[in-house]
Chains A and B, each alone.
Chain A
Amino acid sequence: MGKQPCAVVGVGQTKYASTRGDVSMAGLVREAAYRALEDAEMTWADIDAVVLGKAPDFFEGVMMPELFLADALGCSGKPILRVHTAGSVGGSTALVASTLVQAGIHERVLVLGFEKQSESNAMWALSLPQPFSVSINAGAGGYFSPIMRQYIEISGAPELIGCLVAFKDRQHALKNPYAHLRQWDLTFEQVVDSPMLWQPIRYSETCPSSDGACAMVLGGERTALAASKPVAWVQATAMRSESNNFPGRNEVSPLASQECAKDLYRQAGITNPRAEIDMLEIYVPFSWYEPMWLESLGFAELGEGWKLVEEGATQLDGGDLPVNCSGGVLSSNPIGASGTIRFAEAALQVRGMAEERQVDGARRALGHAYGGGAQYFAMWIVGSEKP
């Protein structure tokens, strides 16, 4: 049968907040799903299958929540899959769904990522003992900070690059009505002066803990061509995983990240990512990961990614390579949904439906998510042109 075309025909997001006390988990997922269906001009009955993704069940303490959420997701009598690939799950969920459409098994698939972090203790759940070492890190920031310090040392980047990224993303969030952190009065100096949590990451350079859900409706060619609104065609998809600990591992720019990106560009026929991709939604939970991912994804030479940040290239206003116009993970972070949000925001951009945060003329965008000890990667390229 071969690979069939697939497109994003609807996007729905919840308002992200530290506590969505107004909804249960079922209410949270339905809010995003219902909005995606509305955007796609469909009803629950039109959906053939659901793919749900979220972070470890340890967070909320509900084992395999797709079971109790089946009817909230309109899934009675339908197939549902629950993907779990650590932090990249929001992205890999979209990839599994796109495979179902591309293989011709389903015509319309609902993708949904969510997290109800207010009903969990994510900090505790993320403080994992590492093999062969005394437990010395608290939270995800504790795990990644030595890696970011290594990047700073290797690259010689100036100290405040991270603060520039954080301030930029928080400014972008002011244009995103769904964002959790919308800090209207935040100044760059306040970012620099905020307390240091894990050297080099200050409080203001850290992702929040959010409740939220993000949904997309993926459709096959027939559905996409019949849509009255613009669609985002899936032009390339790729996933890579590597082991967490092995001698000689490049933790700053993991090989899995580089190879995943290369596979992605090969599929999309891209030889010059910087020139051929109009904007990026990449998974940056701690500020320094923006220059690090820019390098790993081939937008800058190794050791030079910070220069893109310094010269303002990644800003929505005036930059030629806008990154995280939604405000990114630094502004909203329901962990199970954060990857889906990246993929969905990329789709909104190429559909021309990103409202105030729209990059003018965006025709091709990259969505990216990573997970585990920076070892799981899920990426896609969406565009206004059918591949």
Chain B
Amino acid sequence: MRPVAVVASSIVQHPAMEDDTEVEFMVPLISDVKQQVGFDSQDFGFVCSGSSDFLSGQAFSFVHTLDAVGAVPPISESHVEMDGAWALYEAWVKLQLGEVDTALVYSYGKASPGSLKDVLATQLDPYYVTPLWPDAVSLAALGARAGLDSGAFTRRDMAEVAARSMANAQAHTRQASTPQAPSAQAPSPQAPSPKNTSQVPSPASNLAVRSGNLTVDEVLAAPETVPPFSEWDCAPDADGGVAVVLAAEEKAKQLCDRPVWIRGIDHRIDAQNIGARDLTRAPSAGLAAATAIAACLDTAENLDFVELYAPYSYQEIILLKEFGMATAGHQINPVSYQTNPAHFQVNPTGGVLSGHTMMASGLMRIAEASRLIAAGHGDRALAHATSGPLLQQNLVCLLEGE
């Protein structure tokens, strides 16, 4: 496997981008990562993005976002109608060929103009299920109910996830510019301006849409929204985007101080039929983790933290269980998880329970984890992305700082 690293990233997330289209808020983001590595569009060996033009409400809308990249002269570029984590996967595969050394990956979503939970009902079987219009929150509630009834977890377990996520989001201050790039790379005021003239955003102090210090009892006492959930169990929807630069081998070391290497990456899907699945399990998450971890056992057995895309509190519990079971014979080191909880963290950023950008939260987990490692918050992490109802499809990425 050719070593490939995350060398730069930029993220933006807001409750609702009322004044900007997707293209408009992606321009400064992509300009920012270009400036971090000192690249123009032509310098990337490959460009790949993940977005949903269906979500955007216009067929082919992803075409317009190409203008945020700048494709004149033409570039080698592709797009997946999936969360950006899968666009990163495609770019990683491309880099494995050895023909190019760098890739720009970006992803965005603007769900605020519509009702996301109802839009997501169109991800279901269009003949038998979608016509019932089961919204995403109600479906997740079915999953939570299945877990509570089976004893897989309790309301208190769910509330602990919610409270810890809010506390982590509160404590964690994130900035839009990665600390990875050496400061010498920042453009000086006298430097000739690059071909595009978009402005670099000032770093956001916190990308969380919500955070706070809640006790578990306060979460448990909160009114039910869709039983068995309270508002704290369900991720708040947000608009936003993320851009990441990947680089291979020596190139990665040239472009930043601390490359964050992808040691293993894999993704899997389960069949969707909700009535035919065990809703307390996510087998594809376990399988993706097992496959990714097989390439890097040493990394997996010494994780400092995980960043999981769990838009509902109970799903974090299911995912951790899948990852613990995943390594069949090689346990994720129980010492770091059970006996040293202060060291091993789950969602130090607060995860998507602090803010969920449809189509981008998966790539954001990878970007956030990379940023934390680059800043010295730890050396090894597992980042996860999900797609489809009730953890149907999952991607796992093992990261390790230089």
Contacts and interface: CB of A to CB of B under 8 A. Distances in A.
Given A63-B123, A68-B124, A3 B99 contact: yes
Interface string B33-64: 00000000000000100001111001110111
A104 B58 contact: no
Interface in B245-303: 266-273, 283-284, 287
Interface in A348-377: 372-373, 375-376
B157 interface: no
A372 B266 contact: no
Given A3-B98, A56-B54, A77-B284, A243 B72 contact: yes
Contact of B58 (A25, A58, A243, A255): A58
Given A71-B272, A75-B269, A243-B72, A2 B79 contact: no
Contacts of B72: 242-243, 246
Nearest to A239: B76
The A interface, classified by DSSP as helix, strand, loop or mixed, is: loop
Given A100-B93, A125-B59, A79 B267 contact: yes
Interface stretch (B10-18, B80-88, B221-229): B80-88
Interface string B83-127: 000100110011011110000000000000000000110111111
Contact of A103 (B97, B126, B129): B97
Given A67-B388, A76-B269, A2 B98 contact: yes
Contact of A67 (B1, B58, B393): B393
Interface in A26-78: 55-64, 66-68, 70-71, 75-78
Nearest to A375: B63
B78 interface: yes
Interface string A75-103: 11111111111100000100110011011
A64 B269 contact: no
Given A57-B54, A70-B271, A244-B66, A1 B74 contact: no
Nearest to B77: A241
Given A68-B125, A71-B271, A244-B66, A57 B284 contact: no
Contact of A78 (B55, B59, B89, B268): B268
B192 interface: no
B79 A85 contact: yes
B67 interface: yes
A104 B77 CA distance: 21
Contact of B96 (A82, A105, A255): A105
A372 B60 contact: yes
A75 B388 CA distance: 14
Contact of A64 (B81, B268, B271): B81
A256 B75 CA distance: 8
A61 B125 CA distance: 11
Interface residues of A, number: 64
A76 B277 CA distance: 12
A310 interface: no
Residue from the set A24, A68, A104, A131 with the largest chain B CB neighbour count within 10 Å: A68
A333 B166 CA distance: 51
B68 to A, nearest CB: 10
Contacts of A245: 67
Nearest to A80: B269
Contact of A25 (B52, B126, B130, B270): B126
Residue from the set A57, A64, A246, A259 with the largest chain B CB neighbour count within 10 Å: A64
Contact of A56 (B53, B120, B126, B270): B53
A68 B268 contact: no
B62 A84 contact: yes
A243 B66 contact: yes
B182 to A, nearest CB: 30
Contacts of A128: 58-60
A247 to B, nearest CB: 10
B139 to A, nearest CB: 13
A70 B287 CA distance: 16
A99 B76 CA distance: 14
B93 A103 contact: yes
Contact of B80 (A71, A82, A105, A373): A82
B40 to A, nearest CB: 14
A1 B1 CA distance: 7
B313 interface: no
B93 A61 contact: no
B78 A85 contact: yes
Contacts of B266: 79
B79 A84 contact: yes
A77 B288 CA distance: 9
Contacts of B389: 67
A240 interface: yes
A61 B81 CA distance: 14
B106 to A, nearest CB: 14
Nearest to B284: A77
B73 interface: yes
A58 B96 CA distance: 33
A260 interface: yes
A348 B221 CA distance: 66
Nearest to A73: B269
B55 A63 contact: yes
B54 A63 contact: yes
Contacts of B90: 81, 96, 99
B97 A102 contact: yes
B93 A99 contact: yes
B134 interface: no
A126 interface: yes
B70 interface: yes
B80 A67 contact: no
B186 interface: no
Contact of A70 (B74, B97, B269): B269
Interface of A: 1-3, 24-25, 55-64, 66-68, 70-71, 75-86, 92, 95-96, 99-100, 102-105, 119, 125-126, 128, 131, 238-246, 254-256, 259-260, 372-373, 375-376
Of all A-B residue pairs in the complex, the 8 with the closest CB atoms, nearest first, are A56-B59, A256-B74, A71-B271, A84-B81, A103-B96, A57-B54, A58-B59, A241-B77
12 contacts: A3-B99, A57-B122, A67-B269, A68-B126, A70-B269, A76-B271, A77-B284, A82-B81, A83-B79, A105-B96, A239-B77, A373-B63
Given A3-B98, A86-B63, 7 more contacts: A25-B126, A56-B54, A58-B58, A59-B59, A77-B269, A126-B59, A240-B77
Interface of B: 1-2, 47, 52-55, 58-60, 62-64, 66-67, 70-82, 86, 89-90, 93-94, 96-99, 119-120, 122-127, 129-130, 266-273, 283-284, 287, 387-389, 392-393
